Amino acid sequence: MHSANKLVQILVLASSLFIAAAAQSASTFAGSTSTAVFPPPNATVTATDTFFPDGSQVGFAGPTPTGDEAEAIATAPSNSKVDSVYPLVRPAAADKTSKAFDLLQHLANLAPWQSVHSFGLPSSSPLIPDGCNLHQVHLLHRHGARYPTSGAGPAQFAATLHAAATGPGFSASGSLKFLNTWTYKLGAEIMTPFGRSQLFNLGVGFRVKYGDLLKGFTNLPVFRTTSEARMLDSALTFAAGFFGVQSYQQDYHQLITVENAGQNNTLSPYFNCANANNNIGNFGNVQANAWAAVYLQPALERFSQEIRGVNLTISNLVSMQQLCAYETVALGFSSFCGLFTEVEWKGYEYYIDLQFWYGNGPGNPAASAQGIGYVQELVSRLTQTRITEFNSSVNGTIVSNNVTFPLDQPVFVDASHDTVLSSIFVAMNFTSLAANGPLPTDHIPSGQTYFVNQIAPFASNIVGQVLSCPANGKPSHIHWVLNDAVLPLTGVNGCKPNENGLCELSTFIAGMKQRIQEVDFAFDCFGNYTIPIPDLIVDGQYPKNLRK
């Protein structure tokens, strides 16, 4: 009997020691980085592998007749909206006060794209208007969901937490208890599996909507992207969805433009604009941080009571909100999402809106200059006229060659970045997006119109539809659709209010040529100036009356 009691005592003591050791071990790897490598080292696929022949070698494909091309954008009775984020788990805020609150809609540029309801034209439709024919489309899209930028806030937060966890006195409790065993599982820069699905689905959807235009090609299409890994992967995955995985590499030409300093590139123009990489370019962060100190103060006080051994900062909390977004699109779920209230998530959304408005949008004096190169290329394509004046980020070698820059394609596809899309929209003078600016840094204004979640989420896409109205065979109008919602074109000089968002093609081209003349690329990108009073800038240009 005594032996049995002693055995129980030993087991209890061993169990206690195990639990204590586990707790201590948990705190030491909190915030540590974990990685995985696939394919396994030394496991390769070779072209001569006789055990796994290619489908063309196996044969027996069965019937393979092709059908006609789809043109759902012209024939569908209603537009199909994108609202699925499968297989992601839709996150919920800490307070969960509203069933209608979609946290994903408040993740700004880190949100998966979903169809926008309206940009102020509630009766409009992205479908081709009755009585019109579709002649040509210009697609500009962002890459798919990715991991954070190397060394950015999320990785810095993990490093800070891990350094604290390996020292004495670290512990997390309450809503932050999961940090005791949390590890950093994110890579850097490249696209996530969910991001691949976004671009594949975008390609499939684009084929169903606009595939009929392929009949107008006389040569293989040329699509463009930049050389960054996530950009190239996005472009190839889009093409796999558009052309099919068996044939996409034979059905088109993929032009890969170098994204690096010293290379002119309209799809990454910040390398060609000095003022995009100094205090002027950083102005968006300054304005956003001023707001962060306001909206995150209650959260800082709340969380500071739940963690020991590390002094949380406002910057840490912004990183935690970013981790919610990045972990969701990379891992499918994030415990960081449920830490913040709905009000704090609306605050985060506005934080990014400020960052873009004053960094890459209407409130930054170098924004239009960065976007104007794409506008020059657009006019070149619409008029089938070669660019002869090179005074922006346009790459003269590429656009002077009909092989690399054809002008007669029925379908143009370009892949770029969120900040570039934002700058291009400013350069094109889509003023309806900026109607409520300038944006304050101490509160969220009522009647807001500038939402980065609608402008440049992951896989954001804008389509310019060139139409003949009436359908007489001659292009006469243009129609711009951003994330499935029609954009008003009243900011373009001469374009009249239209419930369908239509503008006469000749008027639109004239308006774009005017914008090209208005933007002083040399001054805005290379002028030696400081940011004037923020309220003076609403068109992405340095005020002309203040120039020396």
Residue 35 domain-assigned (yes or no): no
Degrees to nearest 5, angle at CA 377 with 543 and 470 = 105
Residue 85 confidence (pLDDT)? 94
- The answer to whether residue 330 is domain-embedded is no
Check if the beta carbon of residue 242 is closer than 8 Å to that of residue 204: yes
**Helix runs in 225-366, H state only:** 229-243, 248-251, 283-295, 297-304, 314-331, 342-359
Task: Specify the pLDDT at position 45.
Answer: 76
Share of the chain above pLDDT 70, in %: 94
d(CA 487, CA 126) in angstroms, rounded, equals 9
**Structure-block tokens of residue 339:** 């830490």
Residue 267 belongs to what domain range?
Answer: 103-124+142-147+191-280+356-457+512-546
* 41 in a structural domain: no
Looking at residue 494, its pLDDT comes to 97
pLDDT tens-place string over residues 299-326: 999 999 999 999 999 999 999 999 999 9
The three-state DSSP-derived secondary structure of 355-416 is HHHHHCCCCCCCHHHHHHHHHHHHHHHHHCCCCCCCCCCCCHHHHCCCCCCCCCCCEEEEEE
Paired tokens of 404: 């690399």
pTM value is 0.93
CB 471 within 8 A of CB 465: no
**Calpha distance 296→308 (Å, rounded):** 19
How many other C-beta atoms can be found within 10 angstroms of the C-beta atom of residue 205?
18
Kindly report, residue by residue over 251-276, the tens digit of the pLDDT.
999 999 999 999 999 999 999 999 99
- Residue 6 inside a domain? The answer is no
pLDDT at 304: 97
Distance between CA atoms of residues 105 and 97, nearest Å? 16
Question: Which residues of the chain register pLDDT less than 70?
Answer: 1-28, 47-48, 97-98
Q: Judge whether 505 lies within some domain.
A: no
CATH code (residue 260):
3.40.50.1240
Does residue 496 fall inside a structural domain?
no
∠ CA 354-519-372, rounded to 5°: 75
Q: Is residue 518 part of a domain?
A: yes
In a domain, 76, yes or no: no
Closest CA to 416 of 484, 370, 382, 449: 370
Closest CA to 271 of 279, 281, 286, 284: 281
Total number of domains in the chain = 1
The 10s digit of each residue's pLDDT in 344-362 is 999 999 999 999 999 999 9
pLDDT the model gives residue 48 = 65
For residue 316, what pLDDT is reported?
A: 98
Q: Within a 13 Å sphere around the CA of 436, how many CA atoms are in the beta-carbon half?
A: 14
